[in-house]
Amino acid sequence: MGMGELEELLSEKYEYSLSRKSAIRTVCLPNSREIRTRIRTVDFRQDCDDAHSAFDYAYLRKRTPPSEPDTSETVRAVDLFCGCGGLSLGAIEACRAMGKRLTVIAAIDREPAFLRVYKTNFPRSKTYEREIERVIDGDLGIKPTKSETDLLREVDRLDILLAGPPCEGYSDLNNITRRNDARNALYERVARFVELSRPQHVLIENVPAVIHGKEKAVQNSIEAISGIGYNIDSGVVNLAAVGVPQRRRRHVVVASKAKELLIDDVVDKYSIKHKRSVRWAIGDLEVETPDKEFTIPSNLSQDNMKRAKYLHENDVFDLPDRLRPACHREEHSYRSMYGRIRYNEPSQTITSGFMSPGQGRFLHSTQLRTLTPHEAARLQFFPDFFDFSSVKVRRLLSSGIGNAAPMKLSYVFCLELLA
């Protein structure tokens, strides 16, 4: 499907209303019906040089969840490996933009802390604390197993499947089992679920290195999904192009029974005019009053405080090798480790290590500290109304935020799939 055909399906535009101090998103549906969403603008300072930027700026700072559309038009979704709910958040916002209501009939994850966050933010959803490989346990191509049959009773008539299989086994930061990790086979569980439930549309995201797994889970999954009649495309998306304030690249698979979407066409259609910077996302949080785990940075060790002071006092962003730990002083490719964030650019990829200087470029641009969970959540495009308060363990909080899929990813693809 080319760009011209995408334009005919649905269009989205943004505008200011200076008199009402608001930004307006208008989505024109294929039947020419227009859905307008108005959001009160806040005191935006930097980088809000267009209405789209102003709308998203205000959305990130919104402290109360948007109201659901008053409609009987409902979209039914399942979110596998749901985590805290980044993909669901984007799908819900896409449906709201089109005057529809999304109902998550099954959100499945093995981590109870993440499911508590999910349930807090999507109270009408049904959540299941399950190891997916124990629920979807049959091989591709065979009849449903007993546990699969039990699950299918819960998920009849499915409009869209969202899935973010674990990426740690593929991550370039994993120097132990990278490319050859037992968790990599979980990707094929998504294809098996598609084979069983036959949703209208499918959206899967993972790290770009997912295609290099030795077990060829991605290639096997694409072949299986295509083989049962789905139109399918796959590719790598730089999420900065669609408005996420970080250089986060993700491998995306999109499949549909009825539509033929090309990933590059969707990204081109929803590409923003100007990349969003770190300052755009978190500039107002520089001196946020520390309160609870969500707004408190990690404690820097004496050595790491010296490193942070060196970067600030010399106004540099990369730490010289002589100030790094001994294991980083020889030839290495860890230039961003112990680095200072560049305020006027998108951030590097936010990972679960964002509270540790040794895990990436996570020292604040203007403050002698690392990012807070609140700042990392903003950079991951979690708005302020998204509630992480049920997570009391910092390790789980950083993992839930860092491993999430920014909602902009599912937002733009769900607009096109569900129009």
Residue positions annotated with a catalytic role: 167
- The 3-state DSSP class for residue 318 equals coil
Neighbours of 330 (CB within 10 A): 8
Q: If you search the block for the tokens 């900065």, which residue do you land on?
A: 240
CB-CB contact of 77 with 103 (8 Å): yes
Cα dihedral: 39, 43, 48, 54 (round 10): 0
- The 3-state DSSP class for residue 291 equals coil
Element (H, E) at 409: helix 407-418
The token pair at 115 is 């499911």
CB-CB contact of 114 with 83 (8 Å): yes
CB-CB contact of 365 with 318 (8 Å): no
Element (H, E) at 306: helix 302-313
CB-CB contact of 230 with 255 (8 Å): yes
Integer Cα distance of 220 and 239 in angstroms: 25
Query: What residues contact 227, with CB distance under 8 A and at least 6 apart?
Result: none
Per-residue CA distances from 343 to 70, 228, 238, 336, 340 (Å): 40, 47, 19, 14, 9
DSSP 8-state code for residue 139: P
Integer Cα distance of 322 and 382 in angstroms: 37
Per-residue CA distances from 25 to 49, 218, 412 (Å): 16, 36, 14
Straight-line distance from the first to the last Cα atom of the chain, in angstroms, rounded to the nearest whole number: 15
Length of the chain: 419
Query: What residues contact 73, with CB distance under 8 A and at least 6 apart?
Result: 99, 100, 101
Helix boundaries (H) for 236-290: 263-270, 278-282
Integer Cα distance of 393 and 391 in angstroms: 6
